[in-house]
Structure 1
Amino acid sequence: MATQAVSQPPWTLPASSVEIPVLKVYNSLTRTKNEFVPREGRRVKWYNCGPTVYDASHMGHARNYVTQDILRRILSDYFGYDVHFVMNITDIEDKIILRARQTHLLERFRADTKTLSPELLADVRDAWTTHVRARVRKGLVEADAPADGAEWDAWPALEAKFKDRAWRQDALRRDEKFEMHFNAAARARSALEVGQSALDARQGGVDVARQLIDEAADVLAPALDAKLGATVTDPSISRRLSSYWERRFFDDMDRLRVRRPDTITRVTEYVPEIVVFVERIVDNGYGYALEDGSVYFDTRAFDGAKGHVYAKLEPWSRGNRALLEEAEGALASTTGGKRSPADFALWKASKPGEPAWESPWGPGRPGWHIECSVMASAVFGESMDIHSGGIDLAFPHHDNEVAQSEAYHECHSWVNYFLHTGHLHIEGLKMSKSLKNFITIDEILQRYSARQLRLAFLTTLWSAKIDFSESLMTGEVKNIEATLNNFFTVAKALVSQARADADASAVPGRDARHGFDAPEQELTSALHAAQDAFRAALCDSFNTPAALDVLRDLVSRANVYVAARGAGAVNAGVVERVARWVGAMLRVFGLGEGERDGIGWGQLSADGGGALDREEVLMPYLRALSTFRDGVRARAIAGGDGVAKDILALCDGLRDDALVPLGVALDDQEDGKALVKLVPPAELVKARDAKRAALEQRAAQKAAAQAAERERRAKKLARGRAPPWEMFRAPHVPEGKYGGWDADGVPTTDGAGAELSKNARKGLLKEFAAQRRVHEEYLAWRREEEAGGREAE
């Protein structure tokens, strides 16, 4: 007997055939996209390498930290993860120590200088000579390099060659900082020449002396440091510098709308933990101390021991001496004893002039790489989900972090996912002061808004190189912004108008339409498809360029729908739903702030306070004003007399003169009702003035054409000025040509009194008739001109 199929109850939903994508991220550890699975459910432990604070933040910082902020917002605001975001501040490092010490010595030298003296000039010149030998010479070929002691005399010839672009580019290939070093030497030499002239003229006051020091600062500071650096023992000098630039860094991040970290760690606050961490690495057999008190990580002992692998991120870079030496810092110990060139400092013995903390190996300070391992471990324990930073940190910094952390924790998976942001280039070139394309965040925010910068970064994959260029900003970015702004403006106006109409109307009659036909269904389907495509793009390793394209395509479809339907027939609810979702997704990217379901970007006001809801405050008044105008305008159109013309002019004046400076646009529709929109006043004024200028230009062109036509016609009719009865008398003909005329003024005899022949008379009569015609045309033209003049008066 066959088994009967059991029917499902009618309320049972069918199984979904739609495959929901899962989030995958590009992981530098595996160099592929891996499914994102946090270790602790929805909780994400994320450590981000922060800045070394010793100078102004620049576009490289903007690229890295804005991009990390976008990824963080997507994880928390879109995917709903509970993210604990930790970022360190490197407040003690070789660059900070050097900058702080040199700045301190230069300021002290400047304060102690009371007059311009031969000794001061000699000190600056010695510093200049050292700078030329140590810095400028690196970019010169041997034939151009001056001999020791001949630098001053050889300089004019070098300056002449420096003007040659090809020569300069050749030097930059040998040393990318050549131009910067050369310009520093040129400024100092010029200042020395001015100082010498002042001294010769006995005008060497304190102002002249300090001006010399300021102009020669770039060559003088290293010389002072070499001579007096060991005397700087106050650790607060470095802390003051790093604290100042840390505040400036976070100020810049606030201006870029980058969320503050949940937890901030500073190296100087974790020195005791660093000492303990280094001790355990040594105890585990992966570290060793040198005689000078420095402690190094033993990469050979680690690599291969107990399954460990050194340089997981970039194994091909493990022998790159240039990267290894750069990572060790300018103040690295020159003492021998390293077991391998790849070994790196866990603890650096402090030399005179450097901050120091007590340790089992003597006074010292943390190595660069150890700080992140210790601080991340102190907050997260023996593992974390995400570690992020710029791609330039992958080796050796992050590779060294991984090695020493696994050596400390005796583990093989300290980090699950490494996220590295791509390089930033300016107009195709790596950013560099020597290339004059170095841009600080303060400088770039004077040219573009924080939103525009974020949009620029969103147009490129977070892990790819981005070429920041004028064409990117003025072309693609501003077009995206303008498109979205225009859409939100129209959507707000349509929604506001629909609500006003609903408030003003009675209960719909029996024959009212639902307003959800094929066009509305198509736009709704487009919204649903966009939501699916948007999620798929973000699941594909945060593919923001593709996600942006989804939003732009949906906005384009909505605009086509509005244009095809017309404002009076649009289903504002469908447009509103699209606008609210698009706005919410833009805010996920950090492009605005405020409620997720608002229409528009929801950007904060410039001072950081809450933005005034202009629609809520102004719209009731604007709708009343617009309704009044609609009524007056309708009556004026129906009136059809002179008063109607005046009323129409008043209505246009209200629209074009009174409301435009307030940021109110009234778009007249075919149904006689204006669509009320709130637009930035500057945009409306600009559009109105451009429209008026175009109208004035057309009017001027029309007037010029009319004047030219009048002139052409006047020339044509000029021969009709003389009446036909006068055309055969002087002065129109020579005196004495004719002797007699008939009643019309046509000659009958010649000047001698002889009667004219029939043929001569016939020709004169034809001329008379022709002149009568052109004279009548001339008189008619004069009457037209006089009538026009009277109307003008």
Structure 2
Amino acid sequence: MVLRNVILNNVRRKHTWIKPEGYDTGISVYNCIVKEKVPLIVKNKEFTSWYTCGPTVYDSAHIGHASCYVKLDIIQRILRNHFKINLITVMNITDVDDKIIKKSLQSEKTPTEIVQHYEKEFWDDMECLNVVKPNLILRVTENMHIIKDFIKRLVHSKHAYKDEGGSVVFNVKTVNDYGKLQNIVQRDSSNLEENLQTPNTDFAVWKAVKENEPYWDAVFGAGRPGWHTECSALASAVYGDNIDIHAGGIDLRFPHHENEEAQCCAYFSKSQWVNYWLHTGHLMQNSIKMSKSLNNTLTIQNMLKICDAETFRMMCLMSHYRHNMEFSEEYVKTAQTLLKSYKNFVVDCKAFISGKLHSAINREILNSNLTENINKLHMALNNDFDTAACIKIINSVVASTNKMLHTPVESANNNLTDVASVISILNFVVNTFQLFGMDLNKTVAVNQIESSDLTELLEILNKFRQNVRILGLANKDKSLLQLCDGVRDDLKKCGIIIKDHGKLSSWSK
């Protein structure tokens, strides 16, 4: 036991990250290998390579997927539109997999029918969430020749071997620094107690053919690719021996991303394939991770019945992309309230600008706040895309400006210099959310208003009309009564019937 402990203490290796050479973007990002923030340096100033692990299309996407892809979409928008980086994005579609085959057998549909249905549904969901499509989408079954060539080279270089069942397996002991993304303890195979009962981490790069399963012929035997190898082969086919950014959910860091890195380092005989790994946090419910295995997921379409896409994006903005995000009724309401306050702010600014609202504006304070908070926002985005900090900055700007807008003054006209200052604040707020993929100028159509909200709105309108009518009757003011009749007639055109019962009024649809 003493010998074993000595060996264990002496064989730990410090995982290394190689700082790339190239264009320093000025951004710092969290690095899971060194466990700290590092400068984001891309190979070429002209373009930056980005690869995202796509879905396995065997079932409906759930809100855990939504949070991952929305958060990554926000980061991509920031890189493209704030930092003016020419981002080239690639995503794979896993359309052959154990889960797809199992679903096919259960549903008595062909694998092709399964993947076509769920891939279309996935892209429809992404469109609903306002997630920008990747520049290049690569389906596994359409690029099998690339994957087979990739595996052939791994076998030839002795990094992969054929097991007893006929599958081709990657030997992780043939690469240095395996486990660096997850910071797994490595053990030197030259030690006396080789492996010391370390679990076998070798993984299949090509699964041998089985009865009633789709397969492809290859020089190393008929079968189909392993999941990890699909991404490795397709991403490297586009970007070669080095990628700037590789992204996905935190649950993919090990073993999926670890195995991708290991294969490509072996394939290209390099120590580092991906320079920066970006991982989004889990989506939680009652502090429990949402996953299909736990049967606690909610499909994206069902989620959109609870909160709209803009509210969900606001929830993602309020939480740092690396942190877990709790999906709860309270958090949804908080995001809805915040979004509503921003849209009300836009309405108030426009009312002041158009002269409908007369307010006590201190343009010196507004201009000073603008300069200060533009810098703060830039620093927050530089700091590992900290959108949560950005929301706090916007809240501060809105609160200070609202205080002025809601301080009335008796004036026939607003000072044009004050108007210009309010316009500059409005542009800052609206443009920031446009950067994040949201339009604060967009108004909600009546048919999109929740039924409960519409009922409450009509109750308020009816009560107001009723009080005006009572006042008109009491004062025998025909002009007020005519206004009430006009409201009644206009609502009738919209399908809302107002009936007067003495001094009381009611409405119906």
Secondary structure at the aligned position of 2:214 is classed as coil
Q: Deviations over 1:580-634 (max 9, x none)?
A: 2211110111123xxxxxxx34479899xxxxxxxxxxxxxxxxxxxxxxxxxxx
Amino acid at match of 2:211: P
> Aligned ranges for residues 413-562 of structure 1 at < 5 Å?
413-432=272-291, 437-474=296-333, 476-497=334-355, 519-562=362-405
> Aligned ranges for residues 55-134 of structure 1 at < 5 Å?
55-104=59-108
Partner in structure 1 of residue 181 of structure 2: 313
Give yes or no for contact 1:386–1:419 (8 Å, CA) kept in 2.
yes
Amino acid at match of 1:258: V
Amino acid at match of 1:271: M
1:285 is displaced (CA, Å) by: 2.3
- TM-score, normalised to structure 2's length? 0.79
CA change 1:387–1:435 in 2 (3 A) is closer
> Aligned ranges for residues 605-684 of structure 1 at < 5 Å?
646=477, 649=480, 653=484
1:431 is displaced (CA, Å) by: 2.2
Partner in structure 1 of residue 115 of structure 2: 242
Give yes or no for contact 2:51–2:246 (8 Å, CA) kept in 1.
yes
Partner in structure 2 of residue 276 of structure 1: 149
Give yes or no for contact 1:300–1:340 (8 Å, CA) kept in 2.
no
Partner in structure 2 of residue 577 of structure 1: 424
Counterpart selection for 1:264 from 114, 133, 137? 137
Give yes or no for contact 2:207–2:225 (8 Å, CA) kept in 1.
yes
Looking at secondary structure, tell me which structure has more helix per residue: 1
> Aligned ranges for residues 189-208 of structure 1 at < 5 Å?
none
- TM-score, normalised to structure 1's length? 0.51
Partner in structure 1 of residue 194 of structure 2: none
Partner in structure 1 of residue 266 of structure 2: 407
Q: How far apart are the structure 2 equivalents of 1:381 and 1:527?
A: 44
> Aligned ranges for residues 28-39 of structure 1 at < 5 Å?
28-39=32-43
The farther-off stretch of 275-284 and 402-411 is: 275-284
Q: Deviations over 1:733-764 (max 9, x none)?
A: xxxxxxxxxxxxxxxxxxxxxxxxxxxxxxxx
Partner in structure 2 of residue 638 of structure 1: none
Q: Deviations over 1:666-701 (max 9, x none)?
A: xxxxxxxxxxxxxxx9xxx9xxxxxxxxx999xxxx
Partner in structure 2 of residue 45 of structure 1: 49
Amino acid at match of 1:261: P
Q: Deviations over 1:534-572 (max 9, x none)?
A: 111111101111101111111111111112254844633
CA change 1:278–1:79 in 2 (3 A) is same
- The answer to whether 1:590 aligns with 2:458 is no
1:497 is displaced (CA, Å) by: 3.0
Give yes or no for contact 1:293–1:364 (8 Å, CA) kept in 2.
no
Q: How far apart are the structure 1 equivalents of 2:99 and 2:480?
A: 69
Q: How far apart are the structure 2 equivalents of 1:36 and 1:419?
A: 11
Secondary structure at the aligned position of 2:354 is classed as helix
Q: How far apart are the structure 1 equivalents of 2:253 and 2:50?
A: 16
Q: How far apart are the structure 1 equivalents of 2:419 and 2:210?
A: 72
Q: How far apart are the structure 2 equivalents of 1:654 and 1:80?
A: 57
Superposed CA RMSD in Å reads 3.4
Looking at secondary structure, tell me which structure has more strand per residue: 2
Q: Deviations over 1:7-34 (max 9, x none)?
A: xxxxxxxxxxxxxx93111122332111
Q: How far apart are the structure 2 equivalents of 1:533 and 1:519?
A: 21
Secondary structure at the aligned position of 2:266 is classed as helix
Q: How far apart are the structure 1 equivalents of 2:445 and 2:44?
A: 38
Amino acid at match of 1:649: L
Q: Deviations over 1:262-313 (max 9, x none)?
A: 10011111211111111111222211112433111111122xxxxx311110
Q: How far apart are the structure 2 equivalents of 1:567 and 1:89?
A: 62
Amino acid at match of 2:38: N
Higher relative contact order (CA 8 A, sep 6+): 2
Partner in structure 1 of residue 460 of structure 2: none
Q: Deviations over 1:166-212 (max 9, x none)?
A: xxxxxxxxxxxxxxxxxxxxxxxxxxxxxxxxxxxxxxxxxxxxxxx
Q: How far apart are the structure 1 equivalents of 2:427 and 2:230?
A: 44
Q: How far apart are the structure 2 equivalents of 1:567 and 1:59?
A: 50
Give yes or no for contact 1:29–1:418 (8 Å, CA) kept in 2.
no
1:648 is displaced (CA, Å) by: 6.1
Q: How far apart are the structure 2 equivalents of 1:48 and 1:409?
A: 20
> Aligned ranges for residues 298-377 of structure 1 at < 5 Å?
298-302=171-175, 308-316=176-184, 341-377=200-236
Q: Deviations over 1:372-405 (max 9, x none)?
A: 1111111112111100001001011000000000
Give yes or no for contact 2:64–2:291 (8 Å, CA) kept in 1.
no
CA change 1:410–1:29 in 2 (3 A) is same
Give yes or no for contact 1:25–1:541 (8 Å, CA) kept in 2.
yes
Give yes or no for contact 1:274–1:370 (8 Å, CA) kept in 2.
yes
Secondary structure at the aligned position of 2:42 is classed as coil
1:651 is displaced (CA, Å) by: 8.8
Give yes or no for contact 1:67–1:421 (8 Å, CA) kept in 2.
yes
Give yes or no for contact 2:348–2:405 (8 Å, CA) kept in 1.
no
Q: Which runs of 5+ in 1 are unaligned?
A: 1-20, 108-236, 303-307, 320-338, 502-514, 593-599, 608-641, 663-680, 686-694, 698-793
Amino acid at match of 1:251: D
Secondary structure at the aligned position of 1:387 is classed as strand
Q: How far apart are the structure 2 equivalents of 1:480 and 1:532?
A: 23
Q: How far apart are the structure 1 equivalents of 2:241 and 2:258?
A: 16
Partner in structure 2 of residue 297 of structure 1: 170
CA change 1:434–1:314 in 2 (3 A) is closer
Partner in structure 2 of residue 719 of structure 1: none
Secondary structure at the aligned position of 2:353 is classed as helix
Q: How far apart are the structure 1 equivalents of 2:231 and 2:242?
A: 13
CA change 1:655–1:30 in 2 (3 A) is farther
1:652 is displaced (CA, Å) by: 6.3
Q: How far apart are the structure 2 equivalents of 1:267 and 1:574?
A: 54
Q: How far apart are the structure 2 equivalents of 1:83 and 1:604?
A: 32
Amino acid at match of 1:584: N
Amino acid at match of 1:272: H
Partner in structure 2 of residue 252 of structure 1: 125
1:342 is displaced (CA, Å) by: 0.9
Give yes or no for contact 2:282–2:290 (8 Å, CA) kept in 1.
no
Counterpart selection for 2:27 from 16, 23, 26? 23
Amino acid at match of 1:55: D
Q: How far apart are the structure 1 equivalents of 2:85 and 2:410?
A: 41
- The answer to whether 1:393 aligns with 2:252 is yes
Q: Which runs of 5+ in 2 are unaligned?
A: 1-24, 188-197, 448-472, 497-502
CA change 1:554–1:460 in 2 (3 A) is same
1:452 is displaced (CA, Å) by: 0.4
1:485 is displaced (CA, Å) by: 1.4
Give yes or no for contact 1:282–1:288 (8 Å, CA) kept in 2.
yes
Q: How far apart are the structure 2 equivalents of 1:63 and 1:26?
A: 19
Secondary structure at the aligned position of 1:288 is classed as strand
